[in-house]
Chain A
Amino acid sequence: MNSETGGQGVRGADEFLRLEGLTKRFGSFAAVDGLSLQMTRGETLALLGPSGSGKSTTLRLLAGFEQPDAGRIIVDGQDLTRIPPAARRFGMVFQHYALFPHLDVGQNVAFGLESLGVRGGELTRRVAESLVLVDLAGFERRAIGALSGGQQQRVALARALAPEPRILLLDEPLSNLDPSLRERTRHEIRALVHRLGMTTIIVTHEQEEAFDLGDRIAVLRGGVLQQLGTPDELYSHPVNAFVAGFVGRISTIPAMVLSSSQHEIRLQVEGVEWRVAPSAGGGAALANGREVTLTLRPEALRIVAVANGCLAGIVTDRRFTGAQAFFKVRTARGTVLDVMAEPQATAVGQTVGLIPAEPGLHLFTLDGA
């Protein structure tokens, strides 16, 4: 179920990593179901999904901690599916860091280099270099327990990067940090992996993190890849209501297709007729009378004075965020819609009219496709 626009990405010479029909079952439950995708060298991919979507299992399959029931993992033309984790040369940053508590910072960072046979002065030098990368120069002899959460996170990153892995795997790397630290660390990670040209896969359940870190994003749900694409593609052209709702804020309202043509789609929405651009339908043929779900980004609705052809509702809430404000508007049938507008556009308790505005407006048939 890959989007036409997002595409499967790359083929041929640029391809560095390829997953082919990767499947992992726990009992009868498929945690990952037929996952296929490709990545180029130096690309950062974010695996995005709610808990239970299979993103962490995918990462563990990549690292080799789990064996897939079907499918293949190919890196640089080499099939790694049955290669043990120790021989894959992937770097991994664990969610809780998994720093060895009995070793100091330097020994932790040296661990992977020693596996490669690096010894003596070269080992010392490369440990120091790795710590410089994460801004922890001179921390070699510190005990793990004496570090702050943010420092532990950076040691984990240095440890993963020191052996110069082919692919860097990050499992929810920011989830254990304070919100204030989270954004800064995010920028640091992004700068670092781009500077090193490191092929990186990051697992996250936060859309903002995925948008910020991922060159492309794979949205997973129930072990199935929903859509793979750049942040812009996912936001502007979601393939279904799940993706639309997961990447950004949406409101939904049921609607019925009155007619569709090359120029516009006419919809019946709670007794009112709206005209929207055909792109909202994703190019799909929408038969007259078809029941659909209309998903609306907050910016896809405009507040106007109540008049014919607009959906009337009462403003129930206003959340001020600075340049814009978010309003909640309840229609006569009880649907609550999020609307972004200028802060002074209206006030709680007022009755307003809503009309659609492009873009940010999508039609999905009720089966979610």
Chain B
Amino acid sequence: MTRPRWSWPALLLLALLVWVVAYPLVLVALDAFRNGNGWTLEYVRAVFKRSSEISAIWNSLWISVASAAVAGLIGLPLAALFGLVDFPGRRVLGALIALPVVMPPLVGVVAFLFLFGESGFVARFVQAALRLDQPPWRLEGGWAILLVHAYAFYGYFYLLGRAGLAGVDRSLLEASAALGAGRWRTLTRVLLPLLRPTLVGATLLVFLSALASFSAPYIFGGNFRVMPTQIVSTRLNGDDGIAMVETVILTLMALAGLWLASRFEGSATLTGGSKGGAPIRRSPRSRAARVGVAAAAWLIAIGLLLPHATLLLLSFVPAGTWTIETLPPVYTLGNYGALLSEPERLGPLLNSSWMAVLATAAAMAVAVIAGLLVVRQKAAGGKAIQALLAVPWAVPGTVFAIALAAVFSVDRPLALRFILIGTPWLLPLAYLIRNLPLASRPVLAGFRGLDPALDEAGASLGAGRWRRLRRITLPLLAPALAAGATLSFATALGDFVTSIVLYTYDTRPISLEILSSLRQSDVGVAAALGMVLTVLAGGVFALGSERRAVSQ
């Protein structure tokens, strides 16, 4: 047990992960520095000579940093409100305002467009109220992207912040008070340091998400380019070498963020000390304060859910019926009917569903096998397996899309490269890779939380390996499995960033159908597709959390 031993299953898993995760990235890195004739710096020079490339790098950087700052400014006060204060409706509202995080990125962007875009509700109201000839603004450029990011990502600060607050032992705050510290000193010297890993983690998460964000810059960017959109457009222009260099730069930016965060995260000893204890939530003293807080929370929640409501409303608007009116005049179920009756519309729904199911099942299988090997058996190579499972979390989706497209576009079986591009199998593979960290993180944590004595007890009672896995390990892991599977499925179902690089017409997913509906000004169908995605993702999440609640 103490000394890691090499085992065939661990070696096989490691080899598989190297092949699908590390190998494509290494090939991209190499392709950035070679052309048909051999090694070259020609592409690197070309990138740094163009001002458009430099500004894309700069744009990506400031947007990502600013997104983290703004998301924190929105998410943390909300976490404090819902985590520290008790008021009527706290549970329901607290769950509702986490919804934007669940919404697939493209759907959120489209909902924002319908609400705040130049022909969206808010602009129309303002135009009508002020009797303007033109829409009052255009939602475009860096600020528009930042606004969408703030909305899409505040949930990370909110959810992690609430989890962090829930994990704070009340007696630590009481100890601080008993030692004579006032509120301010307790906040700055005790609570914030205790929450530091949470804060750093949420900042990193938003930074990486914003850096990898594709939907918002793609829809709202206009001429304002960030690295992911720049890479895709470079590749469309056929400058593959330059696209590889850009991909390497984007990866390095993500790794730099990861490195910086690890410097600031603080020591791991924070988990020591005392645990449990009563929640630190308090009810406001006076009735007026309670009512006031509840009212404020309702207003905030309604404001944050407006984009969802917009999407729902527009999904009932038939094409061509809404022109200059402030509110759409006609509402029918026709758009939903079209989704079911028209094969072109139904196809993407079915495509996304089977690809997401396949990718999720495969990712869960990998995660469980990794848990058995790495945590249970402590097999040699465990650290490498865990690292490879985590890599797709930090590396932007565009990078993996480009890398997979490069690897699987030639037929060289000896180099383990096959032609998958243009086949239905490349997208599920891409989804699987992107799902690996989402599936394995909760599952590995679940394995670590299992008391090994339970498996040993099963063995002493005569249960074989399979029966123990089926009757003991997997049921105990149910909450972790539910968390990993729902996260994976929802992500794959709504994926846009890798799909736009790797899709074929026959296997085009929902996100691309939304995009083409938008292009054809088929707003109602786009909204209906967005609603279907949101409901599917939200429903799966609800099922997952119910599963978790039941098993706890």
Q: A interface vs B, CB < 8 Å?
A: 63-65, 84-92, 94-103, 111-112, 115-116, 143-146, 159-160, 163, 169
Contacts and interface: CB of A to CB of B under 8 A. Distances in A.
Contacts of B179: 86, 111-112, 115, 159-160, 163
A143 B269 CA distance: 8
Contacts of A163: 179-180
A237 B31 CA distance: 91
A115 B185 contact: yes
Contacts, number: 100
Given A89-B180, A111-B179, A163-B180, A96 B189 contact: no
A85 B177 contact: yes
Interface string B270-295: 11111111000000000000000000
Contacts of A88: 178
B266 interface: yes
Given A63-B178, A102-B193, A163-B180, A94 B274 contact: yes
B377 interface: no
Given A94-B171, A111-B189, A115-B185, A144 B272 contact: yes
A96 B171 contact: yes
A94 B180 contact: no
Nearest to B176: A111
A92 B175 contact: yes
B174 A101 contact: no
Contacts of A90: 178
24 contacts: A64-B178, A65-B174, A65-B177, A86-B178, A86-B182, A92-B174, A92-B178, A94-B171, A96-B273, A96-B275, A98-B273, A98-B274, A99-B273, A99-B274, A100-B172, A100-B194, A101-B194, A101-B271, A102-B267, A111-B179, A143-B267, A145-B269, A145-B272, A146-B269
B197 to A, nearest CB: 10
Contacts of A143: 267, 269, 272
A114 to B, nearest CB: 8
A100 B267 CA distance: 13
Given A96-B274, A101-B272, A163-B180, A63 B196 contact: no
Nearest to B196: A102
Given A94-B171, A98-B171, A101-B194, A85 B274 contact: no
Nearest to B270: A101
B176 to A, nearest CB: 7
Nearest to B185: A115
A254 to B, nearest CB: 43
Interface in B158-193: 169, 171-172, 174-182, 185, 189-190, 193
Q: Looking at chain B, what size class is its interface with the partner chain?
A: 20 to 34
A136 B387 CA distance: 41
B140 to A, nearest CB: 44
Contacts of A112: 178-181
Contacts of B273: 96-101, 144-145
A112 B175 CA distance: 9
Nearest to B195: A102
A24 to B, nearest CB: 15
A65 B272 CA distance: 24
A115 B185 CA distance: 9
> What 10 pairs between A and B have smallest CB-CB spacing?
A115-B180, A145-B272, A112-B179, A96-B274, A101-B273, A145-B269, A98-B171, A85-B177, A98-B175, A92-B178
B272 to A, nearest CB: 3
Contacts of A95: 171
Contact of A102 (B169, B194, B274): B194
B181 A115 contact: yes
Contacts of A98: 169, 171-172, 174-175, 273-274
A130 B176 CA distance: 18
A256 to B, nearest CB: 49
B199 to A, nearest CB: 13
Contacts of A169: 178
B171 A87 contact: no
A138 B384 CA distance: 40
A112 to B, nearest CB: 3
Nearest to B266: A102
Contact of A85 (B174, B266, B276): B174
B270 A64 contact: no
B266 A100 contact: no
A103 B270 CA distance: 9
Contact of A96 (B169, B176, B181): B169
Nearest to A176: B274
A65 B175 CA distance: 10
Contacts of B274: 94, 96-99
B180 A87 contact: yes
Contacts of B266: 102
B265 to A, nearest CB: 12
B99 to A, nearest CB: 33
B269 A86 contact: no
Nearest to B175: A98
Given A92-B174, A92-B178, A101-B272, 6 more contacts: A64-B178, A99-B175, A100-B190, A101-B270, A160-B178, A169-B178
Given A86-B180, A163-B180, A94 B175 contact: yes
Given A92-B175, A101-B194, A116 B270 contact: no
A324 B346 CA distance: 87
B218 to A, nearest CB: 42
Contacts of B180: 86-87, 89, 112, 115-116, 163
B169 to A, nearest CB: 7
A3 B296 CA distance: 55
Given A96-B169, A101-B272, A63 B181 contact: no
A4 B76 CA distance: 58
- Which residue, A63, A95, A111, has most C-beta atoms of chain B within 10 A? A111
A159 B175 CA distance: 10
B193 to A, nearest CB: 4
Contacts of A87: 180
Interface in B140-172: 169, 171-172
B190 A84 contact: no
Nearest to B194: A102
Contacts of A116: 180
Interface string B251-263: 0000000000000
B307 to A, nearest CB: 38
A100 B175 contact: yes
Contacts of B267: 102, 143
A202 to B, nearest CB: 15
A236 B34 CA distance: 95
- Which residue, A92, A95, A159, has most C-beta atoms of chain B within 10 A? A92
A84 B177 contact: yes
Contacts of B185: 115
A111 B272 CA distance: 19
Contacts of A115: 179-181, 185
B167 to A, nearest CB: 12
B269 A144 contact: yes
A63 B275 contact: no
A89 B180 CA distance: 7
Interface string B59-93: 00000000000000000000000000000000000
B195 to A, nearest CB: 10
A91 B175 CA distance: 9
Contacts of B172: 98, 100
A145 B272 CA distance: 5
Contacts of A89: 180
A89 B196 CA distance: 29
Contacts of B276: 96
A101 B171 CA distance: 12
A96 B175 CA distance: 11
Nearest to B273: A101
Contacts of A103: 193
Nearest to A87: B180
